[in-house]
Structure formats: C-alpha cells, structure tokens
Amino acid sequence: MERPSWTNIAIATAAAIGLGIGIYFLSKETSTFDPKGEHNLENLKIILNELHLEYTCIYARYYNMMLKMKEKEEMEKIPPQVVSGIEADLRRELEEKNKAVLSFVEVGRSDFKKSLDLVSLNHWTAYFKDDPEVKKLA
C-alpha cells in the first residue's frame, strides 16, 4: 500500500482544522443574526468570496513551502513537533484572516453593521447552506 504524501496529509490537516473551527463557532448561539436584513444571501457571498481568495493564498503558500522541503528531501527528517508547529501556524493564520476580512467588510461597506463576528458568520453560512454557491465557497 502506498504511503500518503506529506502534501496530502497537510491539505487534509488544514481541511480538518477549518472544519473544526467552523463546527466550534456553529455550536455557539448568537442573537444578532438577521437573514432578511443585513445577513442576506448576497452579503454572505461577498464575504465568502473574499475569504475564499484569502484562504487560497494561504494554502498555496504552505503547499509551496512543503514542495520545497520535499525537493530538498527534508520531509522525512522533520520531527513531529515541527509539523505540529506548522499546523498551529496555519490555524492561527486562518483565524487572523477571518477576523481581518470581517473587519475589512465592516469598515468598507456601509450596509454592514458593526460587530460582525465569526459566530454570526457561521450562523449565516449555516442558514444559507443549501445555496450552490455557498456550498462551493464555505
């Protein structure tokens, strides 16, 4: 049986981390969610498209870093604590990017209320989960 590559493991780890963060925030309640007003489908798509662009850059950077390590044949020599550190850095960077995008949207758009947070974004995404574009981006 062929061993999975480090690239596949890293991508699967990043996806699992993202899913875990989403589940965590979906488990929290918020009283500020308004799907007929500010939290409509079009506004959600704006935010999800921005996050998709930002995540793509982050994942591409980590993927390229791992390819360079693999080219130098360093992947087999990397201790587990270094891999854990890379995963923690990825998780931290994704959390920071979520906050930055939400902050940017609040400042740049007059139709968004202040105090948009990850909890309300996850409720918002869950509410419109059946929309094809939301499924693709979330």
pLDDT of residue 71: 75
Domain-wise residue ranges, the chain: 6-29+47-137
pLDDT tens for 105-129 read 877 777 666 667 788 888 888 989 9
pLDDT tens for 59-96 read 888 888 877 777 776 666 667 787 788 889 988 998 89
- What average pLDDT does the segment 20-30 reach? 62
pLDDT of residue 93: 92
Nearest to 13 by CA among 72, 73, 84: 84
Element (H, E) at 112: none
- What average pLDDT does the segment 23-48 reach? 71
Judge residue 4's burial from the number of C-beta atoms within 10 Å of its C-beta, 0-12 exposed, 13-18 middle, 19 or more buried.
exposed
pTM score: 0.63
